[in-house]
């Protein structure tokens, strides 16, 4: 955990969130500014800045994030996009690994 990390504070219960699901390794909650009818963030309980760092530090936790993302997507209807923004140039704004589960509408391509 990091004392100055928003997502660590959400996991600790210090900052409220609209919980969707959780497992041993991850926590899922609704995004405050949704970009699709279903827009859920899935974050590991372990603080790592991005998915690459999480995989290297704790592959089991990374798998837990992916499993929870799939569960959330299945509950939203099955067709979904899973996005990990990694680094400032990719518009990562919170440097705690997180996946965006987007679903509930047709998602265009290319995405950005």
HEC string of 7-58 equals: HHHHHHCCCCCCEEEECCCEEEEECCCCCCCEEEEEEECCCCCCHHHHHHHC
Quick one: 90 exposed, middle or buried, by C-beta within 10 A (0-12, 13-18, 19+)?
Answer: exposed
Please state the pTM of the whole predicted model.
0.95
Give the three-state DSSP class for 89.
Answer: helix
Query: Is residue 80 left, alpha or beta, with left meaning phi > 0 and alpha meaning psi from -120 to 50?
Result: beta
Residue 2 clears pLDDT 90, i.e. is over it: no
Active site residue 47: no
What value does the mean pLDDT take over residues 58-80? Answer: 95
What value does the mean pLDDT take over residues 68-87? Answer: 94
Contact between residue 69 and residue 82 where contact means Cβ atoms under 8 Å apart:
yes
Q: What integer pLDDT is reported at residue 112 of this predicted model?
A: 63
Q: What integer pLDDT is reported at residue 86 of this predicted model?
A: 96
Contact between residue 103 and residue 30 where contact means Cβ atoms under 8 Å apart:
no
DSSP 83: E
Beta bridge partners of 43: 27
Q: List phi, psi (to 5°) of 15.
A: -125, 130
Mean pLDDT for the chain overall: 95
Instruction: Give the chain's domains with CATH numbers.
Output: 6-103 (3.30.428.10)
Q: What integer pLDDT is reported at residue 111 of this predicted model?
A: 78
Catalytic hit among 25, 47, 96, 98: 98
């Amino acid at each position: 955990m990091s004392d100055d990390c928003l997502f660590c504070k959400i996991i600790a219960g210090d900052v409220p969130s609209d919980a969707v699901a959780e497992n041993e390794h991850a926590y899922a909650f609704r995004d405050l500014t949704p970009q699709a009818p279903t827009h859920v963030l899935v974050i590991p309980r372990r603080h790592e800045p991005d998915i690459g760092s999480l995989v290297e530090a704790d592959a089991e936790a990374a798998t837990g994030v992916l499993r929870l993302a799939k569960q959330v997507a299945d509950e939203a209807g099955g067709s979904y996009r899973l996005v990990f923004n990694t680094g400032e140039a990719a518009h990562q704004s919170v440097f705690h690994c997180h996946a965006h589960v987007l679903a509930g509408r047709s998602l265009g391509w290319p995405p950005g």
